[in-house]
A and B are shown apart, each in its own frame.
Chain A
Amino acid sequence: MSAPGSLALAAADSLGALAPSTAAGETPLTAATVGSVSESIDWWLVGDPADWWFVLRNVDYLGGGLLLTVGLTVASILLGFLVGFPAGAVEVYGDGRWKRLVETVGVVLRGTPIVVILLVIYFVVGVPQVNLGIGSISPAVSAGIAGLGLRSAAYQSQIFRAALGSVDDGQLEAGRAVGLSRFESIRYVVVPQALRRSIPGFQNEFTIVLKDTSIVFAIGLAELLTRGYDLFTQQTTAVLEVILFISGIYFVLTFTTNRALDYLGTRYAIPEGEST
């Protein structure tokens, strides 16, 4: 059976049940059709068992894609942080040439489609194969990390710029007043507060990077979503099953990491006391 079709009809059915007058008035045909088809749906299982079996048989293939997705996300977020945090700090505290340079690069990176960034890095700039002790990273993966990482840096710089800028000037001044240098005041007084405030923005950025890793198909890499696409073009009846399976994985990844960051935010929250 065509799973997407039945799901769409099931959705239309529940819509019709919720608003019978509208549905019946505007699309009487749909309402009638749904009534007859809905009886053939297996309510205990979305999709077809045979198609689910197909997904499970290929779980290794998807697992390989998952590994690439996770690897790209972790490496890109890390690169994005290592470059983006100092960049944000330069935008807040720097002046002159450095500040203008960082701002300009940021605007260019944020204004360029990620596919273009990846293509330019992979085909124009060129990235060598990176050899680590335990194995090597292919040029395509390196380019993927560089592209996603630099774009993330451009966005993360804005998260940290906002967070650093939101800390009251009096904090920096009080640090200077006890004799801390400007850098020390930023390091020991402003940054600890800014990092806490950047967690919500960082959660967004993490989620976006995770899902955007699929864009590396443009330079020939097959991560989770691309491999899923591969699968359902082989067995076209399994579109829904593959997509649901992959969505489940994305959900688990985003949910757990977001909860972990929530925990971090609570764990290091500054005690507020009772409002007086």
Chain B
Amino acid sequence: MSDDVFLRVNDVSKWYGDEQVLDEVSFEMDRSDVTVLIGPSGSGKSTMLRCVNRLAEAQEGSITLDGEEVLSPDTDVDRLRREVGMVFQSFNLFAHLSALGNVALGPRRVLGLSAAEARERATSQLERVGLADQLESYPAELSGGQQQRVGIARALAMEPKLMLFDEPTSALDPELIGEVLEVMRALVDEGMTMLVVTHEMSFARAVADEVVFLDDGRVVERGPPEQLFERPEKERTGRFLERIASHD
């Protein structure tokens, strides 16, 4: 069966010991789609995200990315990750490298570019996220918002075909969230395919093609944001959205 779907997550289940954290999760994305995973903490959304680049291993189900089976034991995991960018909640910038060094490491060591080429690519990616003036700064010298933008540039420098965002703004002070969301919006406008775990509902509403609501490792409901946010079909979805809204 030929498959035009870019990312297909099909009945993915995962257990940590006896505890089931994902229970037959399914959704699809087309190229240039933005899908946002929402749900209470512990609902499995970060784990789901990490299964896509195999930082976590799903035990059942299948994930196909651009026609290739992700979960197969034969999959070259390093190549998969080269093509899938990831942005972490806690940034995880390489602490001993400057912003430039952080972004250049992948192109240099994974893609095999020369030092000069890697540097050039890193510089342009840092310019892209508005950090042209911080090339030589080290992570500890940067604000949280700047660090996360370096994290995005680091992932973009590998020219990924899919970007994963794992609560990219959850560790940030409120006043720094905007600059990161702005960079992400620009990516959406450029047509980047993005799978995003976030609690930023206004961001989800504005840019998502589909919102997937997870609870207890299960997909409770999924649909376009206007439908899911305005007319949730399931009672649980509505309760979750109300709780979130009361804190906004």
Contact = CB atoms under 8 A, between A and B. Distances in A.
Contacts of B155: 177-178
B141 interface: yes
B106 interface: yes
**Contact-residue bracket for chain B:** 20 to 34
Contact of A193 (B85, B92, B96, B109): B96
Interface in B190-246: none
B96 A270 contact: yes
B90 to A, nearest CB: 6
Given A179-B110, A180-B110, A174 B141 contact: no
B94 A189 contact: yes
Contacts of B82: 178-179
A212 interface: no
B139 to A, nearest CB: 8
Contacts of B88: 170, 173-174, 177
A2 interface: no
Interface in A246-273: 270-273
Contact of A272 (B86, B140, B158): B140
Contacts of B94: 171, 174-175, 189
A176 B84 CA distance: 11
Nearest to A271: B138
Contacts of A271: 137-138, 140-141
Contacts of B137: 271, 273
Contacts of A177: 53, 55, 81, 85-86, 88, 155
A192 interface: yes
A178 B105 CA distance: 9
**Contact-residue bracket for chain A:** 20 to 34
Contacts of B143: 276
Contacts of B154: 174, 178
Nearest to A189: B94
B131 interface: no
Interface in B132-154: 137-138, 140-143, 154
Interface in B101-119: 105-106, 109-110
A44 to B, nearest CB: 52
A184 interface: yes
A82 B95 CA distance: 26
B55 A192 contact: no
Given A177-B86, A179-B158, A184 B109 contact: yes
A196 interface: yes
12 contacts: A170-B92, A176-B81, A178-B110, A178-B154, A178-B158, A180-B106, A188-B109, A189-B105, A271-B137, A272-B141, A273-B137, A276-B143
A-B complex: 8 closest residue pairs judged by Cβ atoms: A273-B141, A179-B82, A178-B106, A174-B92, A170-B92, A177-B86, A271-B138, A179-B110
Given A174-B93, A175-B105, A272-B140, 4 more contacts: A173-B92, A196-B96, A273-B137, A273-B141
Interface of A: 168, 170-171, 173-181, 184, 188-189, 192-193, 196, 270-273, 276
